[in-house]
Amino acid sequence: MLVVDPLSDVLSLLSARSLLSASLRAKGGWSIRFASDGVKFNAVLEGGCYLVSNGAEPRWLEAGDCFLLVNCSTYVLCSDPVLTPVAPSEIFGPDHTASINADLPCESLFAVGGRVTFDDADAGLLLDALPPILFVSGKSREATAIRWLLSRLGEEWDEKRPGGSAAADHLAQLLFVELIRVWLHQADATTPGWLQALGDRRVGAAIRLLHGDPARNWRLQDLAEAAGMSRSNFALRFRKLAGMAPLDYLLRWRMRLGAKALRSGSQPISAISYSLGYQSESAFSNAFKRITGVAPQQYRRDHLKAGAVPAKVHSGFAFGIA
């Protein structure tokens, strides 16, 4: 039986792409206020600076530290939190690089930043599962791969070799995945969600099976056996970690896949239905409308007409993790 990595499955569904877009070198006293719509990431390659966000206490970042921001509005990077921040437009040039007080003899900061883009129709699937700010310390035992990636990112950014921009974007993609991996390993699993459930050895094994064959007529007993648990204990643990019952998770994942197929082309709805394990188009249509609030044909028409799925249409896909 095919066993799929659910995180990779979701990133593929979202068409997730990481792009390295800016670099900052600074010495002396400086402070910059950045906007942070969507998902942004920053990494300190050399030196250190403070991060100030959402009214929280300033956090000192040093070489090897990274953070991911999810719809965090604004944040400040600075040498001293008492300084008045300036806008990036006053510092960064058209090549998205900035150099502040480069002639000073003091220790310098070198940081890089970028963004992660998604298919907007499914972005909430991941964004709702992540905290507003996700920190990873470069000193943590789990950050070995991140330290190597940061080293390579610095080289690609500095050396400007042929293909460097493409290489940097691929490294940024790996950095994004590693940040989530380390966070999953370190996170306190107090808030239910599918990402938290992946970190559990037994429940994660069942989720991998569901993603590997979503069209199969899964029974609770099948999944419990794969997890090495009784049906009742498995059902309780799955709901506690994922925030919903196993078969409800499967239903919602099928609808995600169905919606992607409806948006992606002209494949007949009957073919989409059978590919997801439904024996008739009407059975799929009823399930789709129950979850999304709109019939598949209307969903496809809305997407073709507007060029994007209205929020009210796809908000019903939530995995119970908000």
Per-residue b/e over 257-276, b at no fewer than 16 CB within 10 Å? bbbbbbbeeeeebeebbebb
Average pLDDT of the residues in 286-306: 89
Query: The CATH number of the domain where 126 resides is what?
Result: 2.60.120.10
Residues 238 and 156 in one domain: no
- Whether 126 and 202 map to the same domain: the answer is no
Task: Say if residue 109 is in the same domain as residue 256.
Answer: no
Q: What is the mean pLDDT of residues 45-61?
A: 89
Q: Is 84 inside any structural domain? A: yes
Domain identity same for 180 and 41: yes
Residue 10 forms part of a structural domain: no
User: Strand 97-100 vs strand 133-136: parallel, antiparallel, or unpaired?
Assistant: unpaired
Same domain, 172 and 227: no
Instruction: Please state the pTM of the whole predicted model.
Output: 0.72
Same domain, 42 and 126: yes
| CA quadruple 36, 38, 43, 49: dihedral, nearest 10 | 20
Closest CA to 201 of 176, 234, 175, 174: 234
* Residue 310 confidence (pLDDT): 41
**Domain match, 95 and 169 both:** yes
How many Cβ atoms are within 10 Å of 98's Cβ, its own excluded?
Answer: 18
> Is 4 within the bounds of a domain?
no
Tell me whether residue 1 is in a domain: no
* Distance (Å, whole) CA 112 – CA 22: 6
Banded model confidence at residue 190, pLDDT cuts 50, 70, 90: low
227 and 163 share one domain: no
Q: Reduced to 3 states, what is the DSSP secondary structure of residue 36?
A: strand
Report yes or no on 146 lying in a domain: yes
**Which of 240-255 are b and which e, b meaning 16 or more Cβ less than 10 Å from the residue's Cβ?**
ebbbbebebbbbbbbb
Domain interval for residue 200? 195-317
**In the block, residue with structure tokens 């609808």:** 255
pLDDT grade, residue 318 (50/70/90)?
very low
Q: 176 with 199, same domain?
A: no
Residue 19 in any domain: the answer is yes
Q: Show the beta-strand stretches assigned E in the chain.
A: 17-26, 31-36, 39-46, 48-53, 59-62, 66-70, 73-78, 97-100, 109-117, 133-136
Same structural domain, 174 and 199 = no
| Span 151-181, pLDDT tens digits | 888 787 777 778 878 888 888 888 888 888 8
CATH number at residue 257: 1.10.10.60
The number of domains in the chain is 2
Query: Looking at the domain assignment, is residue 308 inside a domain?
Result: yes
Q: Which of 28-32, 88-92, 93-97, 208-212 has the lowest mean pLDDT?
A: 93-97
137 and 257, same domain (yes or no):
no
Same domain, 31 and 168: yes
